Structure 1
Amino acid sequence: MDKKRVTDEQRLLHGGDYNPDQWLAYPEILKEDVVLMQKAHTNTFSIGIFAWAALEPEEGTYDFEWLDNVIERIQAIGGRFILATPSGARPAWMSKQHPEVLRVDASRRKLLHGARHNHCFSSPYYRKKTQAVNAKLAERYGNHPALLMWHISNEFGGECHCDLCQANFRKWLKEKYTNDLERLNDSWWGPFWSHTITDWEQIESPSPIGETAVHGMNLDWRRFVSHQTIDFYKNEIKPLREKTPDIPITTNFMSDNPAFTPFTGLDYQAFAKEVDVVSWDAYPAWHNDKEDTATLAAKVGFLNDHFYAMKDQPFLLMESTPSGVNWHHVNKAKRPGMHYLSSMQMLAHGSDSILYFQWRKSRGSSEKFHGAVVDHDQSPENRVFKEVARLGQTMEAISEKVVGYQRKAKVAIIYDVENEWALNDAQGFGLKTKKYGETLQKHYQAFWDKNIAVDIISKDVDFEQYDLVLAPMLYMMSEKTAKQLQAYVEKGGTLVSSYMTGLVDEADLAYLGGWLTPLKETFGMAPLETDTYYPTDKNSLEFNGKIYDIKDYATIIECDSAEEVATYRYDFYQRTPAITVNHYRQGTAYYMGARLEESFLTEFYGELIADLGLTPPLDITHERGISVQAREANGLKTVFIMNFTEDLQVIEINEEVRDIQTDETLSGQLALDPYEVRILEKKGWFVDSNDQLSL
């Protein structure tokens, strides 16, 4: 899809989810909102997200007058609106009159009306109704000068197991396997436990009991769920594309919580191809008792870089909270300064917006204590409101130095959600210690700590644009991907992979004859077996004169042309290779046979960073917990220096830069208070404005 520009006079977007439909009986509240919006230095509001009951109170009867009034007020203060389609939560009359819209769970129980996101993506009636209401919205507001973009539904996810979805699953399988049951049985390894399919009608979606038995079916079901969700989305946007072809379209993606790893419910990398702008909802649990602030900040950076790389352009932060949420196990308030810092991190990693869920706290139901700009006290004098206003003022001041500026990385980490689906299904290794997403984030942390930009990419991206590619735990790997990695190394690239890589094909079938030939040739070795550790098991290796502990996994390796980088110190495979390096044609391939502590990753990747000549955006000396990120355009860098510690940090800037906010020239020592951010400008090293996303 061609990249669409979203223009708003080069302003960073600041605002968020606004739900005036909850306050129609309180006209004084709606009037006060626009006063507070200006005091908070906000300019953009997502409206209509869960407003179907207010837009269509009974079937075929529409009411847009209230929405007209809301939009008029927003426009009057110079604001813009992101108009949402209401399909994320349908009205009660629809569930009662057309029960086919209700989802059926994996136990084949039809769900009742309630909550949200519980509609069937296959329902012909629901597809027809979403198009109808969206067409009405496009006709009425498509040419409105304050309309910025379309927001489709909300946080797509979940699955339905009704008869309609079962029929569509079988149809999808017939297309995938060209109506050939023999092909399907081969991919699903049908003879296992007598699961051979002899008629398409025998196929049903996985049930909760015994769902791990047929891994090929599980994998195809998850692929189908992604396909059907994206197909529903594409059906929903048809009237918007037809009536407003120049208005960009997005839908808000998520993370997996509480681990704060990539979302595994859908294939977002496939979904991203269908949106004009990637947007996502970020709710990290700041100040938790399991990790320090810098570690969580690196996880946030990983996800930001994941969403940026999906379209290689700036994204939108569609939802965040200025205070706390209402659904973490412990809903802790952000400490003073953390909202400003965490928002600046989003901008630094490529967002052109800071938008909130929500503008005003709901008075009742499940979100009445979820964080918001306007609390129940309705006061602009409370701490949270003042922090939002401070951030808004800064965003206004720095917009021209951020909007459309891009991120460029020479390091990439491959993340593949289908690989995670298959790996999680694998009934081997450690059932609770595989942790694919978390493992990638630990590798990423080694680069985040050294301020080296990283793209989190799919396996289908052109690897040649990167000096270094990491592919840890790529358990499910096609021969095509193996050959692409081989070609990358052959032409001079540096590749790092690890234990549990390349063990099964794209149908989740184990490779016969050992490791794939392209992998053997690239790495100059072969993995013979994987040892899985109990938490009390001990082993280690020596690297650069230091001893590093091994945990969870150790691969027994047979070397061919590869050289030993480190060997195991104990067990029956002591003194055998634990880490290898192979110089293949013009490039280099490393294999980590064991899972090692984070300090090893810091040391190992630190050497690679130096060997490859990778440099941070600013020459700076600092302790762990300081993050330096940059965005660039037209030969200039906007550099964010962020203190993710609770301590005063003194850093050393080893070149001359200008502070954007104070206009002072800086070099040498600089003191940063806890959670402090400084925004600097320096001359960059690339000029590329062709693919800007201007907001």
Structure 2
Amino acid sequence: MKNREKRQVTRAHTLLHGGDYNPDQWLNRPDVLADDLKLMKLAHTNTYSVGIFAWSALEPEEGVYTFEWLDDIFETIYENGGNIILATPSGARPAWLSQTYPEVLRTNEMRLKQLQGARHNHCFSSPVYREKTQHINKLLADRYGNHPALVMWHVSNEYSGECHCELCQEAFKEWIKDTYHNDLTALNDAWWGPFWSHTFNDWSQIQSPSPIGEEAVHGLNLDWLRFVTDQTIDFYKNEIVPLRELTPSIPITTNFMADTDDLIPYQGLDYGKFAEHIDVITWDGYPAWHNDRESTADLAMKVGFIDDLYRSLKQQPFLLLESTPSAVNWHTVNKAKRPHMHLLSSMQMIAHGSDSIMYFQWRKSRGSSEKFHGAVVDHDNSSENRVFKDVAEVGQTLEKLSDVAGTTRPADVGILYDWENNWALKDAQGYGLETKRYTQTVQEHYRTFWEKDIPVDVIMKEQDFSSYKLLVVPMLYLLSLDTISRLKEFVANGGTLVSTYITGIVTEHDLTYLGGWPQDLQDIFGMNPLETDTLYPSDRNKVRYSGKEYELKEYASILEVNQAKIEGEYLEDFYANTPAITSHSFEKGKTYYIGGRLEQAFHEEFYGDIIKELGLSPIFPVKHEKGVSVQARQSETEDIIFVMNFTEEEQVVIFDKPVWDKLNDEELVGEVTVEKYGIKVVAVPLTN
């Protein structure tokens, strides 16, 4: 390897553009690799994730290493002006490893040992797999840690799944013993052991949940999911030991995901907990644009929610590490992005805090399962097709916006989201089994702020609440006394808190609170929810609020008001004319409780009133119709305002003050037309 001067190109200096690059698939085609370098220039890309699934190319036989091809890639990309995000290869094992060490194979919940193949199916507890991954990672760090092209470590890929082998069973038992301080009585109390005669009298009796064993003890299910997160993090921490030791100045990430069908955060791991252990949040975003079940603007709202959640995990810019420039290959219908949508969807990521637009994949595979997954370079190897030109347009746009990198998104509104709460609520055998939809409910409370261009942080219960004027906490079913105390402190110190039905029902062990709603919640809300009515999908009720009637469906809490003020009432059923919405002043702050699941028109009215009451406003106001989103990032000298049209027709927006168009180098003021799926990015100097 040649000695090179370190190029100072990092997240803080530029926006990254590029993608997953798999030269290991093309080592027998030097002409293809040569074309890649030419096309990288034409696409205006600058950064490439390399080596993600390359273990068999790096170590084709145990102890036999072939790094020369990767040496060449480092050199040619560096000489081409590019940066490398180097992956560790643990996401997919070579066949020799599974054959020689079968303990690395994962065991599923039916207690069946899986076979070699696919990916992401290794045992996180296996000492052999931990040793092998750490060893290959040390070799990579030794060889490439000082190379000037290296800007980040990409550890494994999309951690997911769980293993039920004997190694994991033993690890789970040790985790349980540690969690409950070696006290079986405490464990049995937390899991409500006497139910169905499930009291344990020896640690050896504990097993992971399984369809062929126990899966109805909610405390066990919840602790198992916590264990899976902790064991995955522990595996990750083992992987990064040599990276931290040998390359302490190189940031480390692993890519988070979202469930694409309904576009909610991935639920297999608690990313709030995982975020503490990585340097930069990255995620793989694949919204199903142009689907037939929701409007473009509805989907854009969900994308904004996940962006704001992942950005808020560390309160710093994140990276979009994977996306597609057009279609994917795993949706039921894999529809291509329409003209202008690729630039629009990319700018939405930047607007909400991303410092990159990266793709899976750079070049389409010739064979196997992802040969039709979207890519920058298609099978035609052309720079003239529509998708390649769309990518080049994004690259040119990012070059004009390089000063956006590293900038912030200040917010006065926090919306609380909690993975553990979702696990527990989904497991609860009550309410409506198909209508709980915790994440989607939180997104609906987020929607009004997104539509009104009010910046939002989507935060964890462990994060600091004190910087927010408004904290929205919908459906926090699982609510510990510690979190209740912190919410009470937030309100006492002057904050405004909004919560809803099905909040504060169980402890952190998924045990119900006895004696009714916790007293601290009754104190700060000035009321007490007595009962929750669950409605069939065909059932409807109505609530009167601020002189208007709004439709209610699925859930209604029957409330006993103490000191609270009644803001709205139910209109039908046996609880007609009883409180549905309340407010209460508590010490320096104020609370609101929404008793039922109400239509979006209510959220617009209700949160509109709170926005006025608290003086919340967009960072820079732009007049526009629904479906246009205005988001902002803020540097030390200016606000960068992204105006994005998520409607199916051109829209007119109004700038009351002159702004500078950063993409076209011209002043804009008054009425400005934004085409269908169009964007405007403008700068507004900060004034003292």
TM-score (norm 1): 0.97
Question: SS state of the match for residue 464, structure 1?
Answer: coil
The letter of the residue matching 1:579 is: I
Aligned-pair CA distance for 1:204: 0.4
Question: SS state of the match for residue 33, structure 2?
Answer: helix
2:151 pairs with 1:148:
yes
User: What percentage of residue pairs aligned between the two structures are identical?
Assistant: 61
The letter of the residue matching 1:206 is: P
Question: What's the counterpart of residue 45 of structure 1?
Answer: 48
Question: SS state of the match for residue 138, structure 1?
Answer: helix
Distance 1:403 1:494 in 2: 32
Distance 1:251 1:267 in 2: 14
Aligned-pair CA distance for 1:211: 4.9
Aligned-pair CA distance for 1:9: 7.6
Question: What's the counterpart of residue 507 of structure 1?
Answer: 509
TM-score (norm 2): 0.98
Output one character per residue of 1:18-42: Cα deviation in whole Å (capped at 9) or x when no partner.
0011111111101110000000000
2:622 pairs with 1:620:
yes
2:130 pairs with 1:113:
no
Question: SS state of the match for residue 170, structure 1?
Answer: helix
Tell me whether 634-643 or 120-129 shows the greater mean CA deviation: 634-643
Question: SS state of the match for residue 651, structure 1?
Answer: strand
The letter of the residue matching 1:664 is: E
Aligned-pair CA distance for 1:209: 4.6
Q: Aligned pair in 2 of structure 1 residues 387, 618: CA closer, same or farther (>3 Å)?
A: same
2:365 corresponds to which of 343, 357, 362 = 362
Question: What's the counterpart of residue 548 of structure 2?
Answer: 546
2:238 pairs with 1:248:
no
Distance 1:635 1:551 in 2: 47
1:54 corresponds to which of 57, 70, 74 = 57
2:684 pairs with 1:682:
yes
- Equivalence map 1:375-386=2 (5 Å): 375-386=378-389
- Equivalence map 1:86-235=2 (5 Å): 86-209=89-212, 211-235=214-238
Q: Is the 8 A contact 1:619 1:655 kept in 2?
A: no
Give the total of aligned pairs.
681
Higher relative contact order (CA 8 A, sep 6+): 1
Q: Is the 8 A contact 1:14 1:354 kept in 2?
A: yes
Question: What's the counterpart of residue 633 of structure 2?
Answer: 631
1:571 corresponds to which of 557, 567, 573 = 573
Question: What's the counterpart of residue 691 of structure 1?
Answer: none
Aligned-pair CA distance for 1:684: 3.4
Q: Is the 8 A contact 1:212 1:425 kept in 2?
A: no
CA RMSD of superposed structures (Å): 1.1
Aligned-pair CA distance for 1:76: 1.1
2:344 corresponds to which of 325, 341, 344 = 341
Q: Is the 8 A contact 2:19 2:359 kept in 1?
A: yes
2:392 corresponds to which of 389, 393, 397 = 389
Aligned-pair CA distance for 1:543: 1.8
Tell me whether 643-652 or 182-191 shows the greater mean CA deviation: 643-652
The letter of the residue matching 2:387 is: V
Q: Aligned pair in 2 of structure 1 residues 589, 210: CA closer, same or farther (>3 Å)?
A: farther
Aligned-pair CA distance for 1:685: 6.7
Question: What's the counterpart of residue 642 of structure 1?
Answer: 644
Output one character per residue of 1:384-419: Cα deviation in whole Å (capped at 9) or x when no partner.
00000011011111102x011111110011001001
Q: Is the 8 A contact 2:260 2:288 kept in 1?
A: no
Distance 1:602 1:409 in 2: 19
Aligned-pair CA distance for 1:546: 2.0
The letter of the residue matching 2:549 is: I
Distance 1:529 1:187 in 2: 24
1:25 corresponds to which of 4, 24, 28 = 28
Distance 2:400 2:588 in 1: 47
Output one character per residue of 1:157-182: Cα deviation in whole Å (capped at 9) or x when no partner.
10000000000000000111111111
The letter of the residue matching 1:443 is: H
Q: Is the 8 A contact 1:617 1:628 kept in 2?
A: no
Question: SS state of the match for residue 311, structure 1?
Answer: coil
The letter of the residue matching 1:625 is: G
Question: What's the counterpart of residue 304 of structure 2?
Answer: 301
Q: Is the 8 A contact 2:257 2:266 kept in 1?
A: yes
Distance 2:120 2:419 in 1: 22
Aligned-pair CA distance for 1:8: 5.9
Question: What's the counterpart of residue 669 of structure 1?
Answer: 671
- Equivalence map 1:259-298=2 (5 Å): 259-298=262-301
Q: Is the 8 A contact 2:546 2:567 kept in 1?
A: no
The letter of the residue matching 1:373 is: V
Distance 2:277 2:306 in 1: 19
Question: What's the counterpart of residue 594 of structure 2?
Answer: 592
- Equivalence map 1:378-417=2 (5 Å): 378-400=381-403, 402-417=404-419
Aligned-pair CA distance for 1:11: 1.7
- Equivalence map 1:412-427=2 (5 Å): 412-427=414-429
Q: Is the 8 A contact 2:155 2:253 kept in 1?
A: yes
2:532 pairs with 1:518:
no
Question: What's the counterpart of residue 536 of structure 1?
Answer: 538
Aligned-pair CA distance for 1:619: 1.7
Output one character per residue of 1:92-127: Cα deviation in whole Å (capped at 9) or x when no partner.
111111100000000000001111000000000000
Q: Is the 8 A contact 2:637 2:685 kept in 1?
A: yes
Aligned-pair CA distance for 1:635: 3.2
Question: SS state of the match for residue 463, structure 1?
Answer: coil
Distance 1:312 1:139 in 2: 32
Question: What's the counterpart of residue 693 of structure 1?
Answer: none
Question: What's the counterpart of residue 690 of structure 1?
Answer: none
Question: What's the counterpart of residue 15 of structure 1?
Answer: 18
Output one character per residue of 1:263-282: Cα deviation in whole Å (capped at 9) or x when no partner.
11101011111001110000
Distance 1:629 1:378 in 2: 36
Question: What's the counterpart of residue 581 of structure 1?
Answer: 583
Output one character per residue of 1:254-311: Cα deviation in whole Å (capped at 9) or x when no partner.
0123111111110101111100111000000000111100010010000000011111
Question: What's the counterpart of residue 692 of structure 1?
Answer: none
Question: What's the counterpart of residue 441 of structure 2?
Answer: 439
Distance 1:544 1:211 in 2: 49
- Equivalence map 1:601-620=2 (5 Å): 601-620=603-622
Distance 1:173 1:41 in 2: 51
Question: What's the counterpart of residue 456 of structure 1?
Answer: 458
Q: Is the 8 A contact 1:489 1:586 kept in 2?
A: yes
Q: Aligned pair in 2 of structure 1 residues 641, 681: CA closer, same or farther (>3 Å)?
A: same
Q: Is the 8 A contact 2:11 2:405 kept in 1?
A: no
Question: SS state of the match for residue 580, structure 1?
Answer: strand
The letter of the residue matching 2:283 is: W
Output one character per residue of 1:295-332: Cα deviation in whole Å (capped at 9) or x when no partner.
10010000000011111000000000000101111111
Question: SS state of the match for residue 401, structure 2?
Answer: helix
The letter of the residue matching 1:272 is: A
Question: What's the counterpart of residue 4 of structure 2?
Answer: none
Q: Is the 8 A contact 1:491 1:586 kept in 2?
A: yes
Q: Is the 8 A contact 1:211 1:218 kept in 2?
A: no
Output one character per residue of 1:592-649: Cα deviation in whole Å (capped at 9) or x when no partner.
0000011111111111111111111222211101111111111311110000011110
Distance 2:211 2:360 in 1: 33
The letter of the residue matching 2:436 is: K
The letter of the residue matching 1:340 is: L
1:77 corresponds to which of 53, 77, 80 = 80
Structure 1 gaps, min length 5: 687-695
